[in-house]
């Protein structure tokens, strides 16, 4: 079963959220999600949005590198199909599936198969969109909290400035 076929929790853009809204997301100028959380948490800042492609299966999510991205958001991830947000894959859904995989012994240590190199259907890479404390929006395809990626810095701007302003990525709540 693909993520797009699962029962997903509804999500509302923060700008359109009402008092009874559950999950809310912030979007950038192009309408792409940047953060996901609950309306109650909006004032303190929302955690980064993790974006998963709808054609991905739960098995692919839980046995691949995309699982590490879920550490960036305590609520779950946004499932997207061709740039359209379908809803929130909640963390408890992933946790329940991980328990079944663990019981079967199929977590990231399956025996390799010749078909492992064949991608079925449309392929899209799961990503997380995070904003660094310097203000730069970065897209991550992998994340390890013990070894944060390097942020290239605020980017070139008008006037003089340091040529290399790179620093460890420090995630800012949106």
pLDDT at 107 > cutoff 80: no
pLDDT digits over 8-23, tens only?
999 999 988 887 878 9
What is the model's pLDDT at position 21? 78
pTM metric for this prediction: 0.72
Phi-psi region of 66 (alpha: psi -120 to 50; beta: other; left: phi over 0): alpha
pLDDT at 3 > cutoff 70: yes
Question: Given pLDDT bands bounded at 50, 70 and 90, which one contains residue 120?
Answer: low
Mean pLDDT of all residues in 67-95? 94
Indicate the domain borders of the chain: 3-172
């Amino acid at each position: 079963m693909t993520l797009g076929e699962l029962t997903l929790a509804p999500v509302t853009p923060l700008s359109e959220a009402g008092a009874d809204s559950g999950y809310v997301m912030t979007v950038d100028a192009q309408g792409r999600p940047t953060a996901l959380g609950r309306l109650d948490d909006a004032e303190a800042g929302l955690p980064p949005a993790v974006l998963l492609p709808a054609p991905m299966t739960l098995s692919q999510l839980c046995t691949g590198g995309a699982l590490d991205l879920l550490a960036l958001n305590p609520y779950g991830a946004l499932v997207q199909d061709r740039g359209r947000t379908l809803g929130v894959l909640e963390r408890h859904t992933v946790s329940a599936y991980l328990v079944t995989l663990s019981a079967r012994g199929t977590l990231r240590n399956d025996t390799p198969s010749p078909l492992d190199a064949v991608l079925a259907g449309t392929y899209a890479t799961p990503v997380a969109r995070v904003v660094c404390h310097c203000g730069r929006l970065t897209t991550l395809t992998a994340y390890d909290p013990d070894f944060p990626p390097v942020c290239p810095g605020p980017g070139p701007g008008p006037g003089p400035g340091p040529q290399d302003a790179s620093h460890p990525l420090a995630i800012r709540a949106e």
